[in-house]
Amino acid sequence: AKSEPERHVCLFNVEMDQQSREKLVLINDLRQACGNGEFELVYQIQNDLQTLDPVGFEVLLRWNHPTRGRVSPGEFIPIAEETGLIREIGLWVLRTACFEATSWPEPFSIAVNVAPQQLVQPSFLEHVSDILMETRLPPERLELEVTEASIIDDQAHTLRVMHKLKKMGIRIAMDDFGTGYSSLATLQTFPFDKIKIDRSFVQDVHKDQQRAAIVRSTLLLGAALNIPVLAEGVEMEDELTFLRAENCSAVQGFYFGKPMRRDQLHEVFAKPDRK
């Protein structure tokens, strides 16, 4: 009877070992992925909600692993952040996306996710300005998406960086709004040009009273602070109708399109009904 708990401990350790070994392998693979050309960017359309015209794209990272196939960002982005690899990867995303966006017709802008470690990196501003020079992308067409996690670490520093980005003409969006802790204070302190309501509140918003209340108050808040609000993860016509009636500014989600490869984008640009 005495040996029972020990056997459990033993099994547990073996399992943990296997898990951390797998993780180490993944970290190693991730380290080489950039140089091996295993990363790919996809683009998801964003539409103005009054005109329904497409106005821009958010760029999303994909990893085509040589043996595992596609690894989802939900799996590898946290590892890239833990290991600091996100700085190199994020820079590649920014440069590649800006370069891609220079070939898009006029009103289309590009939104790029920026991880917390990128924003606090001393060389971040220099990298961004170099990339704008290299690619000749007008800064007005670049939007950086930051989450609340980017802000809580060193508020004073983050605020300085954000003001400098704004001075360069770049727009800044608050991503995943509503999922953090200090959203209201944050909106007052930091110079955001856009609020993105998280998908978890948008899903079924037309039939869920609580989500409807959260979305409505976010829209009121945006109106009061004069910050346009984009709703993420719109999948259904009913959600869209609700958001439109409540004067939401813009939308993004599978209803309008799944993330697309670069060679599919011309279909959007070629639409004759585009204003």
Contact residues: ligand C2E, CB under 6 A: 44, 60-61, 72-74, 77, 86, 90, 93, 113, 115, 175-176, 199, 233-235, 253-254, 259
Q: Specify whether the CB–CB gap between 210 and 148 falls below 8 A.
A: no
Does residue 148 belong to the site contacting Ca ion (CB under 5 A)? Answer: no
Which lies closer to ligand C2E via its Cβ, residue 46 or residue 219? 46
Cα(227)–Cα(216) distance, rounded to whole angstroms? 14
Q: Specify whether the CB–CB gap between 26 and 63 falls below 8 A.
A: no
Q: Which does 139 bind (CB under 5 to 8 A by kind): ligand C2E, Ca ion, none?
A: none
Instruction: Kindly state the tokens that stand for 195.
Output: 């609020």
Q: What is the DSSP letter of 141?
A: G
Q: Specify whether the CB–CB gap between 126 and 91 falls below 8 A.
A: no
Question: Cβ of residue 168: shortest distance to Ca ion, in angstroms?
Answer: 20
Q: Which does 56 bind (CB under 5 to 8 A by kind): Ca ion, ligand C2E, none?
A: none
Which lies closer to ligand C2E via its Cβ, residue 72 or residue 210? 72
SS3 category, 79: helix
Question: Cβ of residue 216: shortest distance to Ca ion, in angstroms?
Answer: 19
Question: Cβ of residue 93: shortest distance to ligand C2E, in angstroms?
Answer: 4
Question: Cβ of residue 179: shortest distance to Ca ion, in angstroms?
Answer: 7
Does residue 175 belong to the site contacting Ca ion (CB under 5 A)? Answer: yes
Q: Specify whether the CB–CB gap between 136 and 102 falls below 8 A.
A: yes
Which residue, among 251, 265, 258, 267, has the nearest Cα to 60 in the 3D structure? 258
Residues in contact with Ca ion by the rule CB under 5 A: 113, 145, 175-176
